[in-house]
């Protein structure tokens, strides 16, 4: 089918539709659906979205058929609506696609007030432990030093440091879970 | 898309006369102009010498200029409400109209003594006039947009521009019943400025307000 064939076949159907001919309109809608199925399937790799667009476009053609000017080619009018709906779809799905990125940004955005409060809480909690286990836990668990480094800095063996950290965390856990475990 | 739905849609095929769109738009334009008048009369009032003014040339120049501007913009909205519509013809008409008013303004300036130039160009309300026209255009724009959202504009910025042009032109026609300026240059400069402010505002708002 060449574009001229389409125009020659579809335009009389549209003119009959605007005159109130229901059978011509049903035939026209069937043809337009077939065109739209191909049009959107070729441009989207998402069959569900393509289906939705076909339906949306046919509804738009129905409710906005008064915007067709009978002195102009029908296929141009039809194509302009199909294209508008495609662009509209891209605009809307682009907005959706950026939402997860915005969520990430919110996670990584530093909340300075929150950080400061958290630091103060940790200081308070660690102050309830003896000095050396507190220093070990701070270096290893918070600042990310290796156990060997931290142990040498406080003057303990690596094994003793491990035990001290373990006991310290256990003591904190017991205190802050109300001693339930 | 099921056959069912196509059957239901086709059962709704009622005759649509080719003039339907223009009739709807004309109705909206009348409603918009009436609202603009309802806003203007208590706010700015009609000019007190309205009856006497209808006997002057400049009153009818203002009337004709704003009416023709409205007609050109009407064609613009009618075209831009259709998919793939072109705004070229109405824009050409607007340019011709503004050029014509500009030439008349220059002729008047040349014919009058030089000390009349300032009153003819600036009048006493030069900066207020575009502001009032833009303000009065808002209700006309709103009702025009409400209609266009149910039509099928595909270039939303240009369709919004056309709607703003129509709203500004109709508002300036209403405003001419308040305005007692009598310079042709004043009309060509400040009325046109007011209408263009409405048109640019209309294009900006239309980009999202016209989505369908």
> CA–CA separation, A50 vs B33, rounded Å?
43
How does B85-101 read in b/e, with b if 16+ C-beta sit within 10 Å? bebeebbebbeebbeeb
**Mutation to test the B interface, candidates A34, A84, A90, A95, most B Cβ within 10 Å:** A84
> CA–CA separation, B14 vs A20, rounded Å?
4
Q: Which of B5, B10, B16 sits opposite A22 (nearest CB)?
A: B10
Q: How far is CA B117 from CA B112, B184, B201, in A?
A: 7, 11, 31
B151–A26: do the CB atoms touch at under 8 Å?
A: no
Could you report the predicted ipTM of this complex, rounded to two decimals? 0.89
Q: Which two tokens stand for residue B176?
A: 């001419």
Chain A nearest-CA residue for B16: A18
DSSP states of A28-79: HHHHHHHHHHHHHHHH-S-HHHHHHHHHHHHHHHHHTGGG--TTS-HHHHHH
Beta strands in A26-70 (DSSP E): none
Residue A111 pLDDT more than 80? no
> CA–CA separation, B152 vs B84, rounded Å?
9
A51–B1: do the CB atoms touch at under 8 Å?
A: yes
Cα dihedral sign, B126-B199-B74-B143: negative
List of domains in chain A: 3-108 (1.10.1740.10), 113-176 (1.10.10.10)
B151–A66: do the CB atoms touch at under 8 Å?
A: yes
Closest listed residue to residue B78, CA positions, set B21, B28, B157: B21
Residue A78 pLDDT more than 80? yes
Closest listed residue to residue B94, CA positions, set B207, B201, B204, B188: B188
Give the residue with greater pLDDT, B1 vs B152: B152
Q: Which two tokens stand for residue B116?
A: 């009349």
Average confidence (pLDDT) over B199-205: 98
- Where are chain B's structural domains? 20-44+58-209
| pTM of this prediction exceeds 0.95 | no
B13–A83: do the CB atoms touch at under 8 Å?
A: no
* A63 contacts on B by Cβ (under 8 Å): 150
Q: Residues B89, B75: contact at Cβ < 8 Å?
A: yes
pLDDT digits (tens, 9 = 90+) for B62-94: 999 999 999 999 999 999 999 989 999 999 999
pLDDT at A98: 53
> CA–CA separation, A145 vs B11, rounded Å?
77
Q: Measured between CA atoms, how close is A123 to chain B, in angstroms?
A: 52
* B5 contacts on A by Cβ (under 8 Å): 55, 58
A25–B9: do the CB atoms touch at under 8 Å?
A: yes
Phi, psi values for residue B113, rounded to 5°? -60, 150
Q: Is A26 on the interface with B (CB under 8 A)?
A: yes
Q: Residues A80, B27: contact at Cβ < 8 Å?
A: no
pLDDT at A110: 52
Torsion over CA of B106, B112, B113 and B114, rounded to 10 degrees? -20
pLDDT at B1: 56
Quote the longest CA-to-CA distance of chain B.
Answer: 77
* B156 contacts on A by Cβ (under 8 Å): none
A64–B6: do the CB atoms touch at under 8 Å?
A: no
* A35 contacts on B by Cβ (under 8 Å): none
């Amino acid at each position: 089918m060449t574009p001229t064939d389409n125009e020659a076949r579809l335009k009389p159907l549209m003119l009959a539709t605007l005159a109130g001919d229901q059978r011509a309109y049903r035939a026209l809608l069937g043809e337009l659906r077939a065109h739209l199925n191909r049009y959107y399937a070729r441009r989207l790799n998402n069959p569900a979205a393509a289906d939705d667009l076909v339906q949306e476009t046919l509804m738009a053609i129905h409710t906005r058929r008064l915007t067709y000017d009978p002195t102009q080619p029908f296929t141009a009018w039809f194509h302009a609506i199909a294209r508008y709906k495609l662009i509209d779809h891209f605009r809307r799905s682009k907005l959706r696609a950026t939402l997860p990125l915005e969520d990430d940004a919110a996670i990584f955005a530093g909340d300075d007030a929150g950080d400061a409060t958290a630091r103060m809480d940790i200081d308070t909690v660690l102050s309830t432990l003896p000095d050396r286990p507190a220093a070990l836990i701070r270096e290893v668990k918070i600042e990310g030093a290796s156990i060997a480094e931290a142990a040498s800095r406080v003057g303990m063996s690596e094994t003793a440091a491990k035990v001290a950290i373990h006991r310290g965390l256990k003591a904190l856990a017991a205190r802050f879970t109300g001693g339930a475990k | 898309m099921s056959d069912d739905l196509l059957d239901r849609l086709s059962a709704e095929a009622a005759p649509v006369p080719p003039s339907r769109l223009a009739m709807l738009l004309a109705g909206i334009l009348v409603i918009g102009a009436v609202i603009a008048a309802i806003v203007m009369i208590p706010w700015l009032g009609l000019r007190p010498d309205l009856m006497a003014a209808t006997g002057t040339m400049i009153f009818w120049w203002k009337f004709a200029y704003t009416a023709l501007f409205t007609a050109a913009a009407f064609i613009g909205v009618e075209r831009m409400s259709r998919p793939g519509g072109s705004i070229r013809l109405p824009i050409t008409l607007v340019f011709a109209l503004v050029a014509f008013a500009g030439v008349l303004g220059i002729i008047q300036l040349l014919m009058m003594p030089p000390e009349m130039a300032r009153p003819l160009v600036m009048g006493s309300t030069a900066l207020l006039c575009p502001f009032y026209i833009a303000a009065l255009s808002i209700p006309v724009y709103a009702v025009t947009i409400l209609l266009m959202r149910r039509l099928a504009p595909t270039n939303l910025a240009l369709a919004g521009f056309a709607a703003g042009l129509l709203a500004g032109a109709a508002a300036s026609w209403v405003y001419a019943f308040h305005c007692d300026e009598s310079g042709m240059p004043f009309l060509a400069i400040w009325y046109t400025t007011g209408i263009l402010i409405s048109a640019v505002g209309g294009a900006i708002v239309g980009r999202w307000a016209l989505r369908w």
